[in-house]
Amino acid sequence: MEILFASTELAPFVKVGGLADVAAALPKALRALGHRVTVVLPRYPLLESSGLLLARRLTPLRFTLGDKAFEATLYDARLASQVDLLVVDLPGLLDRDGVYGERGVDYPDNALRFAAFSRAVAEIALARSLAGQPVDIVHCHDWPTALVPTYLQALARTNESLSSTRTVLTLHNVAHQGIFESSVFPSLGLPAASFTMDGLEFYGKLNFLKQGIIAADRLTTVSPTYAREIQTPGEDGRGGHKLEGVLASKSRPIVGILNGVDAGVWNPAVDPALAARYDAEDHSPRARCRGALQKELGLPLDPAAPIIGSVGRLVHQKGSDLVAAVLPKILRHTDAQVVICGDGDEALVAKLEQATAKSHGRAIFIRAAAEPVVHRLYAAADLVLVPSRFEPCGLVQMYAQRYGALPVARATGGLVDTVVDCDAALETGTGFLFQEDDENALLAAVERGIAARAHARWPSLVRRVMRLDRGWERPARQYEQLFRQMSVR
């Protein structure tokens, strides 16, 4: 099949969240199954500064939105995975250092920025169809590309060559919806009829994700449990974030497909970032990784001390405030060392900086940690904290398991689908779950994990989690099956 993969992030070049990892790994897995996949990405300054070679196309892509004409320059590239990359340059709109904004503040013209990018994706699909290479599937991701199905529908009304092109919208996080003031509607180039309760309108504003949910041929999300959760109301950001009614009204079910782990990037047997390589059959070299990380970060060189890691965006959703609140208790109740890597909300950053400053060297906070440091933390840690209030899928817990660290996770979303709570004898389980949104519940789960570390079956537990099949082949085949069901050729 011919697949266009529209994304606003792509690891390792530009990464805000897990979407970047998915945009790099899923197209590679689909290509391995024999499909032709082209990732379409905005042209960010980071792309070329990172060494990616781009070849400029001579023919620009022209379109209008409202009363404004746009001329996009297209660039071709080939990723190391041999997946094709098509980069869209819209000067003044997409060529900025931040993806969605800077220093935690969104760009004020994001509605126009991502509407223009979405229209460009639709125009690319049309151009391919007119050239005799029709696209079977346009795979869109989250609100920044959620208008692609609507623009494609509009183009298909006057271009029969698009009649066989189908759209899939993957919901990586329903909390982020692309909500804008209604005053920007005329600049989007959409028919007036789309600004209704059955379209873009959302409590008097515009909601890009809502429109994508309505217009896409099929919806997927990144875990089976999250697919159920978002069709129900919830508190504190859980559930469907006021879109549960729209989601539940879809005539075809939302398909929950777990994300995977790219073994070419996350593999302790060959990872160049590690002090020692290891695998599930012999994970004893993790001891060297522990010592090397302690030395690198200035932690006490204590081989007996448990190491607890925390990796991710510092936001309310991820339970980062719980980590900050529980840190003093962990240090007081246990002999553990704690390493926290992340960036985000300035208030949470300040709390973590204060908490680690009072740890007498037993806790380290690394803001905006480099990727190799994160790999080394997974290889050294005994436990990794994932106290999310809601979690569509989560990659941290799977990366941790891949490297032999046990996740301590809240029982929600994709965490439920990827972590089985350990029994007291460690005969079953792949991590330590807790239910309550509470720092004491998190602490109790941490203490269970530390106690388990002293159990005779701990090495077998580490081996068990490292043997889990978290690769992308199974998810890619599930996407392939869905795409084939939709294809009309």
Q: pTM to 2 decimals?
A: 0.94
Taking each helix axis as running N to C, give the angle between helix 320-333 and helix 439-453, from 0 to 180 degrees, rounded to the nearest 10. 50
In this structure, are 138 and 51 located in the same domain?
yes
Please report the beta strands in 10-130, taking only residues with DSSP state E, as ranges in sequence order: 36-42, 55-56, 61-65, 68-78, 84-89, 101-102, 105-106
Q: How confident is the model at residue 474 (pLDDT cuts 50, 70, 90)?
A: very high
Q: How far is it, in rounded angstroms, from Cα 489 to Cα 474? A: 24
pLDDT (0 to 100) of residue 302 = 96
pLDDT (0 to 100) of residue 236 = 64
Nearest CA-CA partner of 364 in 296, 438, 289: 296
Model pLDDT for residues 224-280, shown as the tens digit of each residue: 999 999 999 976 667 999 999 999 998 899 999 999 999 999 999 999 999 999 999
Model pLDDT for residues 191-211, shown as the tens digit of each residue: 888 888 888 999 999 999 999
In this structure, are 192 and 293 located in the same domain?
no
Residue 239 lies in a domain: yes
Check residue 392 and report its DSSP letter.
S
Model pLDDT for residues 372-426, shown as the tens digit of each residue: 999 999 999 999 999 999 999 999 999 999 999 999 999 999 999 999 999 999 9
Residue 255 lies in a domain: yes
Give yes or no for a contact between 419 and 430, defined as CB atoms under 8 angstroms apart. Answer: yes
In this structure, are 10 and 93 located in the same domain?
yes
Q: What is the average pLDDT across 289-305?
A: 97
For residue 155, give the H/E element and its range. helix 148-156
Whether the per-residue pLDDT at 489 is higher than 60: the answer is: no
Residue 274 lies in a domain: no
In this structure, are 313 and 379 located in the same domain?
yes
Cα 375 to Cα 246, 330, 344, 348, distances in angstroms: 39, 23, 20, 23
Q: What is the average pLDDT across 285-290?
A: 98
pLDDT, mean over the chain: 95
Residue located via tokens 């607890």: 308
Which has more confidence, 263 or 48?
263
> Which residue range(s) make up the domain with 243?
2-260+473-486
In this structure, are 243 and 363 located in the same domain?
no
Give yes or no for a contact between 47 and 169, defined as CB atoms under 8 angstroms apart. Answer: no
Give the rounded distance of the alpha carbon of 18 from its chain centre: 2
Give the total number of structural domains in the chain. Answer: 2
In this structure, are 224 and 292 located in the same domain?
no
Whether the per-residue pLDDT at 337 is higher than 70: the answer is: yes
Q: Is the dihedral of CA 88, 90, 95, 96 positive or negative?
A: negative
Amino acid symbol at 334: T
pLDDT (0 to 100) of residue 487 = 77
Q: How confident is the model at residue 46 (pLDDT cuts 50, 70, 90)?
A: confident
CATH at 342: 3.40.50.2000
pLDDT (0 to 100) of residue 193 = 80
pLDDT (0 to 100) of residue 368 = 87
CA angle 368, 263, 16 (to 5 degrees): 30
pLDDT (0 to 100) of residue 243 = 96
pLDDT (0 to 100) of residue 235 = 67
Amino acid symbol at 353: E
Give yes or no for a contact between 167 and 140, defined as CB atoms under 8 angstroms apart. Answer: yes
In this structure, are 411 and 319 located in the same domain?
yes
Residue 278 lies in a domain: no
Q: What is the average pLDDT across 456-484?
A: 97
Q: How far is it, in rounded angstroms, from Cα 392 to Cα 448? A: 25
In this structure, are 457 and 482 located in the same domain?
no
Q: How far is it, in rounded angstroms, from Cα 485 to Cα 488? A: 8
Nearest CA-CA partner of 342 in 404, 408, 292, 386: 386
Whether the per-residue pLDDT at 325 is higher than 60: the answer is: yes
Nearest CA-CA partner of 21 in 36, 32, 7: 7
Give the rounded distance of the alpha carbon of 51 from its chain centre: 23
Whether the per-residue pLDDT at 36 is higher than 70: the answer is: yes
In this structure, are 253 and 378 located in the same domain?
no
Residue 138 lies in a domain: yes
pLDDT (0 to 100) of residue 284 = 97
In this structure, are 153 and 224 located in the same domain?
yes
Q: What is the average pLDDT across 465-472?
A: 96
Percent of the residues in the chain that have a pLDDT greater than 70, as a whole number: 99
Residue 335 lies in a domain: yes
Q: How far is it, in rounded angstroms, from Cα 239 to Cα 487? A: 31
pLDDT (0 to 100) of residue 264 = 92
In this structure, are 237 and 310 located in the same domain?
no
In this structure, are 309 and 240 located in the same domain?
no
Residue 322 lies in a domain: yes
Q: How far is it, in rounded angstroms, from Cα 39 to Cα 20? A: 12
Other beta carbons within 10 angstroms of residue 411's beta carbon come to 15
